Structure 1
Amino acid sequence: MKLLLTSAGIMNKSIHDTLVDMLDKPIGESSALCIPTAMYGHPWVGPGVQAWEFIKGDARNPMVNLGWKSVGVLELTALPSINKDRWVSLVQETDVLLVAGGDPLYLCYWMQQSGLADLLPSLRSVYVGMSAGSMVMAPHIGEYFVGWNPPNDSDETLNLVDFAMFPHVDHEMLPHNTMAHAEKWAADIQGPAYAIDDETAIKVIDGAVEVISEGNWKLFSS
């Protein structure tokens, strides 16, 4: 599958144009499924009004409100109680998955419990992650980002890319998300690690990595 890993959604023309190129057709002709699950595991963003704002489309974090032909909701915590015949084909046929931010370990757990994690590598869809929705693709997230504790008490995530991500660099609401803190975080990451601001995204197709940015980012190699 094709990955567009963002910090805060489709925040500028460069990231928007990259998404359209990855879709190979206009957004208005593309179907989408949004996945809010990560939000429920994070104390700042869910459950409650912010999950609803993501699903209906939030102008502050453009993803769901880009003008898709259709948008559905795929709630991962519900999938284990539903026959796979009712949702697997839906996921396989959709053009794009829009995955919200929140807690990356909570998201990883429910991707694995639901069976979506096993399905992801074979999908033709474009996967668009925001914050935790991007971080979950890494081998692990680093102790800095551990909030919700999974049963295995590990910071390991899906390992579908070979690098880790530190999102929201220099965000005005996140005073500790500085490039200096990102460098300290990266020192404990075994392997490549990107620090990116909200104007930056990472495109991954068949293992080839490209940074799309109108802002600030840095690659740390340990």
Structure 2
Amino acid sequence: MRDRARPTLPTAAVPAVAQLSVRCVTKSYGTRTLLDQVSFTVRPGEKAAVIGENGSGKSTLLRLLAAAEAPDAGEVTVRFPGGTGHLAQTLDLDADRTVQDAVDLALAELRDMERRLRAAEASLADASEEQLMAYGDLLTAYEERGGYEADARVDRTRPGRGPPGGARGVPGGGGRGLARPGLPCTLRSRAPGTARRPKALTRPAPAPTCDTLGSAVSRPSAPTSGDRVLRGPLEPCLARRMNFLMTASGLRNETLRDALRDMLGKPFGSANVVYVPTASVAEPGDHGWLVADMNRLYGLGWREFDVLELNGLPPRLVLDRLLHADVIYVAGGSHYHLARSITGNGLADGLLKALESRVYVGFSAGSMIFSRHLTAHSADVIGDTADLHVLGATTVEPPFGLFDWYLKPHLYSPDFPERDDAWADRIAERADFPVYFIDDETAVRVRDGELDVVTEGRWRFHP
């Protein structure tokens, strides 16, 4: 599990969050009442199934949620950043059509978005600012609606119909689906409650390679004998302006501290930091490592050093405390407990909004929560399933899903002696997603849409 891992507060508007609620809803057809005074709420991140006998109103309820019909009485509130999708119980297809035809009809809107994205990507290098913004809007909508995962989910329900994640293409071109646009680090371009456009879109830049032994910042270099690095491409990100310094073990060296100073743009003595120890609460045993990390950070001489636990406080108070800081520093422990705390308290949207104008520093677990691959599947691949089960859980929802790669810290660490090259190789062999393995002297930095690695140590990237 151990992937460690003020009196006057400003008032800030809390961004709108995803919402699904039904209150006192009644729906009848003629003299037959199918739904009578139905009320329920589904919180962000939760999954719900509607179970009942034939004719009991299941499809009717879903049509109400999709706004395909209106209730006779009561109120239905459905608010999601990417809109809503509804697959009807019966489709308008001729009897001789195939299952693939039914799938393509259900995904018709996503297919249209895929074609438009392909067309836009072909001219990105010469695109105007307005065209870049339009591309960002379209990419956000496609991502929010689960476009990248749609075909993989279809494949999982059709055994024997080809390998998941197989060749994808634009319909009519010999394939289906859309691959991510060459970005191992794709940031969601908006938070709920903001305009559907990124603050900034960066054009692709030449990609550095993963050869960083002994260097402060990753740069292309010739292979060196004895390197424990699997070389591969490190490409730029598509992002709004967010700043992340995702470390394995905190600000342990001057190179990492200099990177934070540069991202912050002012001395530590002129800035406020908030330290979030939530992940550590689920970590058993001695917590001397947490005290040492907190003391190391405190010793940098901040104007104000706040400590904030995410659980047990009203969400508005938590967000106000986060907004009061210039640097949000999230410590290590259980990344699953941290992720569940964020989603369970409805903090994801507010935290994303805060990060548009603040620097985020992660320490181990705090660095792992932004991947879209923070799931039960990745827990099985990485070997962390027991850490999830100890929390009494079998699944986990990624609170943000910003990055298309996964970060695994503490490579070559004396605290985790099993994390050597053989360990990384075993994970890379099983992983169907990109993985960064970083040692305790290294951080992955995302700054204004560009990704690089800051290090005085060693790291590996498996695409």
What TM-score comes out, normalization by structure 1 length? 0.85
Q: How does 1:73-222 map to 2 (within 5 A)?
A: 73-79=307-313, 82=314, 84=316, 86-123=317-354, 124-141=357-374, 142-143=378-379, 144-146=383-385, 147-149=387-389, 153-154=394-395, 156-158=397-399, 159-221=401-463
Identity of aligned residues (%): 34
What SS class does the counterpart of residue 454 from structure 2 fall into?
strand
Match of 2:306 among 72, 77, 91: 72
1:13 CA drift (Å)? 1.6
Question: Residue 100 and residue 178 in structure 1: after superposition, are their counterparts in 2 closer, same or farther (change >3 A)?
Answer: same
1:3 CA drift (Å)? 0.7
Mapped pair 1:17 → 2:258: yes
Question: Residue 134 and residue 64 in structure 1: after superposition, are their counterparts in 2 closer, same or farther (change >3 A)?
Answer: farther
Question: Residue 187 and residue 65 in structure 1: after superposition, are their counterparts in 2 closer, same or farther (change >3 A)?
Answer: farther
Distance in 1, matches of 2:395 and 2:429, equals: 18
What SS class does the counterpart of residue 77 from structure 1 fall into?
coil
Question: Residue 186 and residue 31 in structure 1: after superposition, are their counterparts in 2 closer, same or farther (change >3 A)?
Answer: same
1:185 CA drift (Å)? 1.8
State which structure, 1 or 2, has the greater radius of gyration over its C-alpha atoms. Answer: 2
Question: Residue 187 and residue 44 in structure 1: after superposition, are their counterparts in 2 closer, same or farther (change >3 A)?
Answer: farther
Distance in 1, matches of 2:315 and 2:438, equals: 38
Instruction: Give, as a single letter, the amino acid of the residue that structure 2 aligns with 1:68.
Output: W
Mapped pair 1:63 → 2:304: no
How well do the aligned residues superpose, as a CA RMSD in angstroms?
2.1
- Which structure dedicates a bigger proportion of its chain to strand? 1
Aligned residues: 211
CA contact (8 A) 1:193 1:220 kept: yes
Question: Residue 67 and residue 187 in structure 1: after superposition, are their counterparts in 2 closer, same or farther (change >3 A)?
Answer: farther
Instruction: Give, as a single letter, the amino acid of the residue that structure 1 aligns with 2:418.
Output: H
Distance in 2, matches of 1:187 and 1:157, equals: 23
Distance in 2, matches of 1:118 and 1:190, equals: 28
| 1:58-98 per-position Cα deviation (integer Å, ceiling 9, x unaligned) | 3xxx334322111111101123xx261x3322312310111
What TM-score comes out, normalization by structure 2 length? 0.43
Gaps in structure 2 of 5+ consecutive residues: 1-241
Question: Residue 148 and residue 45 in structure 1: after superposition, are their counterparts in 2 closer, same or farther (change >3 A)?
Answer: farther
Distance in 2, matches of 1:19 and 1:43, equals: 30
| 1:172-205 per-position Cα deviation (integer Å, ceiling 9, x unaligned) | 1211111221222233333221000011001112
Higher relative contact order (CA 8 A, sep 6+): 1
Q: Tell me what 2:205 maps to.
A: none
Distance in 1, matches of 2:286 and 2:429, equals: 28
CA contact (8 A) 1:3 1:126 kept: yes
| 1:77-133 per-position Cα deviation (integer Å, ceiling 9, x unaligned) | 123xx261x332231231011111000000000011223222222221111000111
Q: How does 1:31-70 map to 2 (within 5 A)?
A: 31-44=272-285, 53=291, 57-58=294-295, 62-70=296-304
Distance in 2, matches of 1:169 and 1:134, equals: 14
1:50 CA drift (Å)? 5.6
Distance in 1, matches of 2:315 and 2:340, equals: 19
